[in-house]
Homo-oligomer: A and B are copies of this chain.
């Protein structure tokens, strides 16, 4: 609030222009001048006023992160991972939570555009159908990168896991072990992430000429332990037999596993279980839960790199092509599916 470029200019008896250029390493400034300016700035603790520079550069050094639900292991870890990279590169993250509401999500995007953030990293809610706001962002001054759960119909930068391939692989893994009545617990019917996973599930069945009983496909919004327990109970009470179980997170699998254990099933002999997110809790139960592990740190890394590349290209007035990165998730095999 105190020290400005003027103070430096006055003290060093040079112009503010020169100070500004020196601070920003313009090539037309003498290296001695640069050194002198920088040293003095350092000494008196000068820090450029970001808001004043914005008026000319249109850069805020701010990045918006929008996630569907911050209060989950998956997203809080991913966001934490993004924050590290964002701050390391001299940006600051504005973190917004959509609480799985498309309405809130659109408000969040508007807020970020109003703030003129340099970039917006967003994973969509599981109920998001409209791409109106994403399109708005794309024609705004903020670079858009969608991740984890994105939209098929919009052409923008994407960083995703190999949802289809990993679920196909995992399903075939169960089929090869002799399972043919696999329950599949999906997050929603709308989210692309969930759709892709289901396609993988279906393809694995098609390839192996096994039909899918839709009664074993369950949509679960909550994704909690008790929800997993409840789902298992309902399947059981409805007389729907299963010999395999794949869910979109670990708590669901553990909840279900607990129910089946209580009701006399032996695991993995009677039913094989596979969760996702590879959380600690899964390794704590008996039998230990097999789970699909997503490398969140790598995802954060790729998102940030994509953004920085785009910023660099923008600076050179290049139009950067749309990019799509896919990260391989892997199955961590444990006792529940052996």
Contact = CB atoms under 8 A, between A and B. Distances in A.
Contacts of A60: 51
Interface stretch (A76-84, A152-160, A197-205, A312-320): A76-84
A93 interface: yes
Interface residues of A, number: 50
A95 interface: yes
Interface in A24-38: none
Contacts of A70: 76, 79-80, 83
Interface string A73-103: 1011101100110010000111111010000
Given A255-B284, A281-B225, A284-B225, A114 B71 contact: no
Contacts of A50: 114-116
Contact of A94 (B51, B72, B77, B94): B94
Contacts of A140: 1
A326 interface: no
Provide the main secondary structure of the chain A interface.
helix
Contacts of A114: 47, 50
A52 interface: yes
Interface string A56-78: 00101010000000111101110
A62 B60 CA distance: 13
A226 B94 CA distance: 34
Interface in A141-170: 141
Contacts of A173: none
Contact of A80 (B99, B226, B284): B99
A72 B80 CA distance: 11
Lowest 5 CB-CB distances: which A-B pairs, in order? A95-B95, A76-B76, A51-B54, A51-B51, A225-B284
5 contacts: A1-B58, A1-B140, A71-B77, A93-B96, A225-B284
